[in-house]
């Protein structure tokens, strides 16, 4: 026993250096290297032909998790171990390290003390492979309403992005500023993480209804976020991350003025249809006397043929959301058609057909809400 101990090399871990080595252009080849180990110690490890489990006891790489103080042992990253000609102990992962992710490296020669005397129990390091420089490409493509004037009781804004965005609360990156550049206090409904569409390219911003609707406590205390006669700017912080974690390509601002509150319900009597010619693929155009809610326009209006089948085609809005247009997938066949509109269609202030948004609970109980779809017949000659 005494002779065996005398033949074991002495190992001073204070000279050990743990680094992440990678080609500058090929991060897939990145490996963890430990330098500063005595040649005798490396030779003894090489001749031992250790199993993967034994290697992981000595030289362990795991994904870093901040706040992991629970004592749970994290699984080791899978990979292979080797001793290089330059005298380094190397770990090469089975799958490439993720750029931007941190990894914890633990070198603990005491776990395999039969290969050398140690002065320190362990040496740790946290290593991160830097993310490659990425040129941001995502931008804010559209904001609806697209016009530059909204009513004082405006309910929603829609932000459309050119690519999917990350799963974050967009309100952290939005601000509303008055004409003097001062930020408006709490204009939007909080808890904005659920206000994405399924593709994460459209984000809905709700003005706080408690402030918009008259007679409520927030409205009485703070007033409406928008004031008639004033001008505002919606400011989008370019730090808003897209789905890849990259910031927006450019900042974005939308300026608009505010008119009087709109409390008048929609009336289909004021809608006008421009009917196309049979045998053509001309657009059917429906004109409205005021801007409507863009998202609702695209999903609550449609056309049916005489048999009640929906007419397929491309839907567009135009003229600051005062027009709805359908370009058919097939040429129009002469005959009767019906424009079908859901009663949930709204204008910018939330007024529906026959039902104003500003209605108190007593009026709402006495009025019979319209539940059936609106049907407007027309004929193509």
Give the model confidence (pLDDT) of 215-266 as tens digits: 777 776 778 899 999 999 999 999 999 998 899 999 999 999 999 999 999 9
Please identify, in words, the CATH class of the domain defined by 268-380: mainly beta
Domain locations along the chain:
2-128, 140-259, 268-380
Give the strand pairing for 252-259 and 149-151: parallel
Q: Which residue has the tokens 């010619």?
A: 277
Burial classification of residue 38, based on how many CB atoms lie within 10 Å of its CB (0-12 exposed, 13-18 middle, 19 or more buried): middle
Alpha helical stretches, state H, the chain: 2-7, 39-48, 52-58, 209-212, 217-222, 294-300, 361-366
Q: Which CATH class is domain 140-259?
A: mainly beta
Provide the whole-model pTM. 0.69
User: Do strands 123-128 and 17-23 pair parallel, antiparallel, or not at all (unpaired)?
Assistant: unpaired
DSSP annotation of 67 reads T
Same fold, 2-128 and 268-380: yes
Q: Which two tokens stand for residue 273?
A: 């249809």
- Architecture of the domain delimited by 2-128: Sandwich (2.60)
Q: Does the pLDDT at position 5 exceed 60? A: no
Place of tokens 């000659």: 381
H/E stretch holding 235 reads strand 231-236
- The strand pair at 102-107 and 10-11 is best described as unpaired
**Span 367-378, pLDDT tens digits:** 445 568 999 999
pLDDT in tens, 45-81: 888 888 888 898 889 999 987 554 555 667 899 999 9
């Amino acid at each position: 026993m005494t002779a065996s101990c005398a033949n074991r090399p002495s190992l001073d871990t204070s000279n050990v250096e743990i680094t992440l080595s990678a080609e500058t252009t090929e991060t897939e080849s990145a490996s963890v290297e430990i330098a500063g180990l005595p040649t005798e110690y490396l030779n003894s490890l090489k001749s031992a032909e250790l199993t993967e489990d034994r290697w992981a006891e000595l030289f362990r790489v795991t994904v870093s998790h901040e706040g992991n103080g629970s004592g749970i042992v994290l699984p080791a990253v899978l990979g292979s171990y080797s001793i290089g000609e330059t005298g380094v102990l190397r770990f090469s992962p089975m799958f490439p390290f993720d750029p931007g992710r941190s990894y914890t490296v633990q070198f603990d020669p005491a776990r395999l003390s039969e290969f050398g005397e140690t002065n320190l129990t362990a040496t740790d390091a946290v290593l991160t492979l830097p993310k490659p420089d990425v040129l941001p490409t995502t931008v804010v493509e559209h904001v609806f309403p697209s016009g530059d004037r909204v009513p004082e009781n405006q309910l929603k804004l829609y932000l459309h992005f050119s690519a999917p965005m990350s799963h974050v609360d967009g309100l952290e990156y939005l601000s509303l500023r008055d004409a003097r550049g001062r930020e408006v206090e709490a204009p939007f409904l909080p808890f904005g993480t659920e206000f994405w569409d399924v593709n994460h390219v459209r984000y809905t911003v709700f003005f706080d209804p408690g402030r918009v609707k008259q007679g409520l406590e927030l409205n009485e205390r703070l007033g409406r976020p928008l004031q008639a006669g004033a001008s505002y700017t919606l400011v989008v912080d370019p730090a808003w991350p897209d789905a890849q974690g990259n910031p927006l390509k450019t900042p974005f601002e939308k300026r608009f003025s505010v008119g009087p509150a709109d409390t008048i319900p929609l009336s289909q009597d004021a809608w006008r249809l421009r009917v196309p010619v049979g045998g053509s693929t001309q657009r059917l155009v429906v004109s409205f006397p005021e801007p409507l809610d863009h998202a609702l326009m695209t999903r609550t209006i449609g056309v049916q043929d005489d048999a009640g089948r929906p007419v397929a085609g491309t839907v567009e809005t135009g003229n600051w959301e005062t027009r709805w247009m359908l370009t058919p997938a097939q040429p129009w066949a002469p005959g009767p058609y019906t424009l079908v509109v859901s009663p949930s269609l709204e204008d910018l202030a939330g007024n529906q057909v026959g039902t104003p948004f500003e209605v108190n609970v007593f009026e709402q109980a006495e009025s019979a809400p319209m539940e059936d779809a609106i049907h407007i017949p027309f004929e193509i000659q």
